[in-house]
Amino acid sequence: MKHIWTTLALIAVTASVCHAQKTPIEKYELVPDGHMEVYLDYVSSFNGKSLTTPSGEYIGQANRQNQIYGYGMFIGNDGSKVTGMFRDGGLLFGITQTMQRTIVGSPDKYVAYSNTTGRVEYIVRGQEQLVMEGPEQYNYGFVTMRYANGDQYMGEIFMNRRHGFGIYYYANGDIWYGPYENDMRNGYGVLFTETDGILLGEWRGEQVKRVIPVRYR
């Protein structure tokens, strides 16, 4: 059933009056930090691999049975790209980019952005599809930001700042995926490098609280 999201938008606007900074509306369900720690510990023993499947190419972690499991990037034969956390061969949470839209979240709770406008098209929570209307919708987006040093950010923004999940492409070829808060990396993510393999860990701004190196085999 499709619902107009006017009520939630009004709640967010009201909350912003009471706070110096607006609070983003929950667009998907985040994996709790405790679960993330368990996930990282579990996948830390899985090597990085390049796999060819009937539906596309994958580079990232895989378990001992060569099943996609852990952090990785999947390029579909249809041109789609999925970056994030995988489990048992399927997406657990991440960014799915298709020709028409970009989806951020888990398979059953996610936000869909238009690739044409970069704005929120709808939010799915189980069996419900929610539509955001009113001025509040313009605070959110999925954009590409290019920097003078050659770096590029492709991800979510809130009020023109990197906020939510994104992919950061460094000019040296490294790729970082994970959450941002107020323009800074904040949470569990992964750094794909050509020199040091895959680095799993917890980032808080420019400081890394924990790093688990994973090699390509």
Is the pLDDT reported for residue 18 higher than 70? no
Give the pLDDT confidence score for residue 93 in this predicted structure.
98
Q: Could you tell me the pTM of the whole model?
A: 0.88
Work out the number of other CB atoms within 10 angstroms of the CB of residue 115: 13
Count of structural domains within the chain: 1
Min mean pLDDT across 80-89, 111-120, 124-133 is at: 124-133
Q: Of residues 28 and 133, which shows the higher confidence score?
A: 28
Is the pLDDT reported for residue 12 higher than 80? no
Give the integer Cα–Cα distance in Å for 34 and 20.
30
Q: Model confidence at 136, in pLDDT bands (50, 70, 90)?
A: confident
pLDDT, one tens digit per residue, over 47-101 is: 999 999 999 999 999 999 999 999 999 999 999 999 999 999 999 999 999 999 9
Boundaries of domain holding 41 = 2-214
Give the pLDDT confidence score for residue 14 in this predicted structure.
30
Could you give phi then psi for residue 68, rounded to 5 degrees? -60, 120
Give the pLDDT confidence score for residue 21 in this predicted structure.
54
Give the pLDDT confidence score for residue 200 in this predicted structure.
96
Query: Per the structure block, which two tokens stand in for 182?
Result: 């107020």
